[in-house]
Structure 1
């Protein structure tokens, strides 16, 4: 054992946790069963202030043990057991042989002895060995413990067994005699109980008669309740009839209101203040977007099974020339259902926007790809802004996509900000992202002041009033054209007074200004609600032309990282799809908006939950010391993701693996050479964090491209080649 002795540097050992310390001891002593079991003589010193085993030997090898530290002989002084525990075991004797398990001493004792490996006896594991007759102490110490049992203990226990057998026979005879006496007593009691039972039966018959009387009373009460129910039902029917009449009256009022709105809208359309599509919006005649593609039904054709849906979408996309592994489809579908921001990261041409477009087509949805410009610096670049001079809102393609989605609430919309990090995301997107954090209801965005909208509408009411009066005046002669009306001096004078128009302004300018004002207020309201059929996705590249994502963005988003499609195992994907056995994969699937995920609060944080407990420990032992921000919101996002992922894959390990890649590893950007405890950050990742993640993902089989373990290994290797700079995005 001396030739192959393993030892550890004391400063390194001090920064290990208990689990790692035990592993060092197991490796040093060659213990396969992961328990440190020893034997030896238990003694208490004459002063009575120390007790333990002076020379402890391993049960498995019968070799004396010592701590795996350079020049360590500390075990020769003994393994400690509290003296009061030892006296209880000795029971008046000066010493005994015991078998026991060793455990790490308390932190205080380890620090006092300056020994991170210091062990003590576990009192609950102590087993006594019988003293062997006619053998001296030195002989016992020199013998192997298995030899003691075979040559000496056997005869001792054989003699004892014969004696115990004789005693047991005598005790058995006595017990038989006692049992016979007890049997007679039981028989006498049984006879007495039979007599008592007869009396109880008679009493039960009397109780039965009483119960029958109560049942009759209850039946009478039941009939009375039925009569009351009938009376209440009649009253309810009366209320229902009144409700029906109210609804009819309300329907008539709504119809009148609709006709009024249509009349005003028709008036504005006649004078070309609004276009035909705006008229249909106001009058309620616009048809919502209808996808005419003949698609499959999620609930009817797939029994609302997301696992089957995943298989079909993967096969359908392959049919359309888009090759994606099942892992990507499972992951993307789950992230879509979370209603969180999704960021697709990868090199140009890795299939990020193609995934958005092809997935949208596969579920009968609409994709909108919005290019981000490098000069975007505020939310106005994303959502547009109100121009007070023109009295209209200048919309952006992003806002127009949201407005279009709100008009087609049954159709899923996937809005992708392409090359999202060409500009600093935290500059133009942070306010919008804060709105997306609202989980109890659909978030609202204030585009411009409600007062401004009310002011414009007030002016427009004046215009409508002036022109409406003039129209009634001249309609008898068939003159209803705006230009003709404005040629009337009285009408023109009132319009100039109402709007402050100059005498030099043309009639066309009058008309254009009113039209722009009206279009701005009707087309874009001051406040919009992000509809529940919208999913926001970002696509980013990481190179010298782009910006890194800020912690605020990463904390609120899920990040899927893509590698080059040229590294894809095409044959494996084909084999996956063939195993599904679909005959026709040409049709898309029609999903209801709620089937693509409902915006609701994240699951509650519960420290007792396995997932929460795991990440509490990860944060305390690893993330916080490494300088990685990790909060409760992130854990709740993980709970939500894991719950939804179970619909496509039951593997809890795979869900954990994916969450580490989405939410944890993207935050690994720091100087790995900086100290952490008695080592540095890179060493801590390799020797402490990585083994713990491997232990939690034990048994998981996943492609290296999607493995959190492989990603962490690549991260540390890249850091070593880059002056110890840890950067997930490099």
Structure 2
């Protein structure tokens, strides 16, 4: 297996045979039989499919093209017939197949001379998992499928082995009998009869074994169905346990007339509580991303930039492609810059450009806990006191087709780690939507218990004194006999007010009806922070920097407006007046970060940077940050295939914001500031050789030079934010 990476020019002019031989050597195949296995992915709007994360069938090595500029695992096209056959079957999401060179036009289009695709007709279901696979490739459902197949093959193999053993025994006996018969000169007829009987016996035994295998397979299918039914029942039980408020809803529904008559709730509150919530989204006239633009993110960025310019909002293309990519990561995005640099305006204008809604939440300097962000339950009033942030989440839940961009404006006026840490921990959940617990679900049960008691006491008092014609609570209290009966039943003295107690029960009931005990983070919500750095604000802690992407802004007066207008002229859209409409999934899916792979070029780069520079500088840089980078690079390719630009952006987002320390401290024979200026800066220039073509505002090299110059004029204190 060769580790050589080829340049495009080295491969030009090679024949198909020579290209195949090059791949055979690079990937470690012993012959030209390129057998692989991987995961089938179907395009929603196309007939073709992809084979993702392909691995060698023999060694299980992950395949990537040994070509400069082409990073990450290969993805091979699957023709429509095979894609439809295997991509739509539950048990055949993973297949094994053979590869062949793609058509010359495809190879030339993608600038990959040895680009390969799946050989038509070579696909088959992957019946058994390889001995060692990445744990995050296969889901729980996939594992259960392969376990079922393993059970089937285990018993099938046992049965086949038993047949072979018994067949061998019988065959040996037959040969012995035949030898003895020849030795004793038995007649040919007797030998033939014995042989026929033996064959018939073996055929009978084989048939019985095949029947047993068929029964085992049927039993296996039944067990899988039973398992599915059990899982569905568990889900139902979980829903019932997590929604105790349904009991309150049923009781309110049964007693609706009584509760309205005695003014415990209004008709409007009753309708809102009992009628299932419907999306308040309105149909928006716009350009559909999947249909008109064929799901092309590069075209989407061009359209959005053109749409904004038509609204007299000028942003360079780089900002739009970077911001859209960061939104798709579903990580926390923090926009940093001086006041008036266009941070919140980007949130608002982008939201309108994609038919979404921006909600700006001003952060107060006195915020000290998660209650300031999400609100809290008041046990005295028996109600939850919500905040604008929580109201925005609840509104987004009612409008699942509309993207919501919730921006915490001036996020660092208070210490972010105080009020946002709990919520940030929830956002770290990548394999499922995080659930935000607001208060104990048992509170609704307490409300129901007290409400039942009040209703029964009033009904008993009415029936005892024959007041069926009473039409409201005040009229009930005017009846002296009933009034005394109610006071006695409630244990009230003359000083206690029944009217006040009625009001308390009414407020308590409304609070339980209007606020759920927990809320699942809506998939259509994106959380963004906007910060200013001055003497009135707090620096972001390492915990926040480790989990967020910092996108820095400069004054729009520094932008080259003519260059922006020239960019847009090249797009040649006929009409950009309507917003561009994305499906929720197209704007980002919360899923696990790519697996850390020591052989990956990006991982190797940041392992080296961490050992050579960041660790020596005292900058925390962990494996999770590298996996975030892998995710960013993977998504950025959809918008721009410039890998150096992606690395430049990632250094700006995740590395440079952590440079805050005393540069006068020594590391070996030099100071930290000298290590940055003389070594680290030069290394970044090597990794981003096209840094001179990147505008200064968005260049990691220029930003690092700025850090060095500021430190020299500030007694050696290194501070990215100054």
Find the residue that maps to 2:405 and give its secondary structure. strand
Quick one: distance in 2 between partners of 1:642 and 1:335?
10
**Residue of structure 2 equivalent to 1:529:** 520
Identify unmatched segments of 5+ residues in structure 2: 1-202, 237-245
Question: In structure 2, what is the equivalent of residue 301 of structure 1?
Answer: 292
Shift, 1:530, TM fit: 1.6
Give the alignment's Cα RMSD to 1 decimal.
3.6
The CA deviation at 1:591 is 1.8
Match of 1:350 in 2: 341
- Contact 1:364/1:590 (CA < 8 Å) preserved in 2? yes
The equivalent position to 2:312 in structure 1, one of 315, 321, 324, is: 321
Counterpart for residue 422 of structure 2 = 431
Alpha-carbon distance change, 637 to 287 in structure 1, aligned in 2, over 3 angstroms: same
Shift of 1:410: 2.2
SS in structure 1 at match of 2:638 = coil
Which residue of the partner structure matches residue 697 of structure 1?
A: 688
Tell me, what secondary structure is at the counterpart of 1:520?
helix
**3-state SS, counterpart of residue 537 of structure 1:** strand
Q: For residue 385 of structure 1, what is the aligned residue in structure 2?
A: 376
Question: TM-score scaled by structure 2?
Answer: 0.63
Contact 1:277 / 1:286 at 8 angstroms: preserved in 2? no
- How do 1:53-202 residues align onto structure 2 when only pairs under 5 Å count? none
Alignment CA distance shift 1:269-1:663 (3 Å): farther
1:725 corresponds in structure 2 to 717
Computing the radius of gyration over CA atoms, which structure comes out larger, 1 or 2?
Answer: 1
Shift of 1:524: 2.0
Q: Deviations over 1:118-140 (max 9, x none)?
A: xxxxxxxxxxxxxxxxxxxxxxx
1:588 counterpart residue number: 579
CA distance in 1, matches of 2:493, 2:312: 62
Where does 1:201-280 land on structure 2 (aligned, <5 Å)?
262-264=253-255, 268-269=259-260, 271-275=262-266, 278-280=269-271
Does residue 686 of structure 1 match 2:677? Answer: yes
Q: Distance in 2 between matches of 1:335 and 1:593?
A: 15
Q: Secondary structure at the match of 1:509?
A: helix
Deviations 1:288-331 (A, max 9, x none): 12234312211111111111111111111122222111111111
Which secondary structure does the structure 2 equivalent of 1:535 belong to? Answer: strand
How far 1:484 sits from its partner (Å)?
2.6
**Is the deviation greater in 473-482 or in 564-573?**
473-482
> Quick one: which of 641, 657, 661 aligns to 1:666?
657
What is the 5 A alignment of 1:527-566? 527-566=518-557
Q: How does 1:596-611 map to 2 (within 5 A)?
A: 596-611=587-602
Question: For the Cα contact (< 8 Å) 2:249–2:273, is it kept in 1?
Answer: no
Aligned equivalents of 1:411, 1:475: Cα separation in 2: 55
Q: Counterpart in 2 of 1:713?
A: 705
SS at match of 2:714: coil
1:630-675 Cα shifts (integer Å, max 9, x gaps): 1111111111111111111111111111110011100000111111
C-alpha distance in structure 1 between counterparts of 2:581 and 2:454, whole Å = 46
CA shift in 2, pair 1:458/1:687, >3 Å = same
Instruction: Output one character per residue of 1:481-537: Cα deviation in whole Å (capped at 9) or x when no partner.
Output: 232344456765676578766643445423321122112222222322222121111
Q: Is the 8 A contact 1:265 1:283 kept in 2?
A: no
Taking structure 1 as reference, are residues 659 and 386 closer, same or farther at Cα in structure 2, changes over 3 Å only? Answer: same
Which residue of structure 1 lines up, in the alignment, with residue 89 of structure 2? none
1:587-607 C-alpha deviation (Å, 9 max, x unpaired)? 112222111111111111111
Specify whether residues 663 and 403 from structure 1 end up closer, same or farther in structure 2 by C-alpha distance, changes over 3 A only. same
Q: 2:628 aligns with which of 627, 631, 637?
A: 637
Where 2:358 maps in the other structure, the secondary structure is strand
| Contact persistence 1:291–1:364 (CA under 8 A) | no
Deviates more, 1:565-574 or 1:500-509: 500-509
Conserved? CA contact 1:280–1:286, under 8 Å: no
| In 2, Cα distance between equivalents of 1:323 and 1:475 | 75
Which of 298, 310, 318 pairs up with 2:301?
A: 310
Give aligned pairs, total.
498
The verdict on how the C-alpha distance between 1:616 and 1:575 changes in structure 2, with shifts beyond 3 A counting, is same
Report the CA distance shift for 1:473/1:339 in structure 2 as closer, same or farther (over 3 A): farther
* CA positional deviation for 1:266: 6.0
Q: Tell me how far apart the structure 1 counterparts of residues 496 and 415 of structure 2 sit (CA, whole Å).
A: 44
Q: Tell me the distance in 2 between the aligned counterparts of 1:579 and 1:310.
A: 13
Report the equivalent of 1:620. Answer: 611
Distance 1:648 1:674, change over 3 A: same
Please give the alpha-carbon distance, in whole angstroms, between the structure 1 residues aligned to 2:313 and 2:268: 36
User: How many angstroms does 1:282 deviate by?
Assistant: 2.5
Question: Residue 448 of structure 2: SS of its match in structure 1?
Answer: helix
Residues 714, 500 of structure 1: CA spacing in aligned structure 2 closer, same or farther, 3 A cutoff?
Answer: farther
Cα contact 1:262–1:282 (8 A) shared by 2? no
Q: Cα 1:499–1:646, aligned 2, differ >3 Å: closer, same or farther?
A: farther
Please report how far the alpha carbon of residue 368 of structure 1 lies from its aligned counterpart in structure 2 after TM superposition: 1.0
Q: CA deviation at 1:287?
A: 3.1
- Counterpart contact for 2:365–2:414, Cα < 8 Å: yes
Q: Could you list the runs of 5+ residues in structure 1 that have no partner in the other structure?
A: 1-216
Verify the 8 A CA contact 1:393 1:520 in the aligned structure 2: yes
Equivalent position of 1:150 in the other structure: none
Alpha-carbon distance in 1 for matches of 2:398, 2:256: 18
Q: For structure 1, which segment, 279-288 or 537-546, has the greater mean C-alpha deviation from structure 2 after superposition? A: 279-288
* TM-score normalized by the length of structure 1: 0.62
